[in-house]
């Protein structure tokens, strides 16, 4: 069986010269790669006591839902602003050029719930940090944050230093 790293397509000089883009779609398009990715991420949770899985739009949904399903846990989506129909809580966060806003339903996390946050990739950590702040504002306790891939050169893990963060694949560069 191939290692999960072998399913990730690396594209040099995208979106700009000197950057190696790590393409998750090549993992998703291969049944063995997808199974290995989900199973590897699920393995990161084997000794974690938690109540709910939260996934960040949109690739956090791709990985978070099957993990929640396999472990018989509820799934809560964090979406881009304006996508959720009920009363929401929101956080703004900085992007490389500008800012963005994410939201979640105000009633999606109950006080005291232990939460696992799932996404495909950690780069600078800004999006997931905003998600964590919303979870905590609602009274949830983030007990684990997991990613399929990590770009260690962008230091996102440092931004989340107060949390238990784990990644299946760690790339040293950006």
> Any idea which residues carry the catalytic annotation?
59, 96
CA 14/CA 56 separation, integer angstroms: 23
Phi, psi of 32 (to 5 degrees): -70, -40
> How far is residue 89 from each of residues 36, 51, 69, 97, 127, measured CA to CA in Å?
34, 20, 25, 24, 15
Is 110 strand, coil or helix?
Answer: coil
């Amino acid at each position: 069986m191939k290692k999960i790293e072998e399913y990730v397509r690396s594209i040099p000089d995208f979106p700009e010269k000197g950057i190696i883009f790590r393409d998750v779609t090549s993992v998703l398009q291969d049944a063995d790669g997808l199974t290995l990715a989900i199973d590897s991420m699920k393995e990161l949770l084997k000794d974690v006591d938690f109540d709910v899985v939260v996934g960040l739009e949109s690739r956090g949904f791709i990985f978070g839902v099957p993990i929640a399903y396999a472990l018989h846990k509820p799934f809560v989506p964090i979406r881009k602003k304006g996508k959720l129909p009920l009363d929401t809580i929101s956080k703004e966060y900085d992007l490389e050029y500008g800012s963005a806003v994410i939201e979640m339903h105000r009633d999606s996390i109950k006080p005291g719930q232990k939460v696992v946050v799932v996404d495909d990739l950690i780069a600078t950590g800004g999006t997931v940090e905003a998600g964590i702040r919303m979870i905590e504002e609602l009274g949830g306790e983030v007990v684990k944050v997991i990613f399929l891939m990590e770009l260690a050169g962008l230091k996102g893990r440092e931004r989340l230093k107060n949390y238990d963060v784990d990644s299946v694949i760690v790339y040293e560069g950006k």
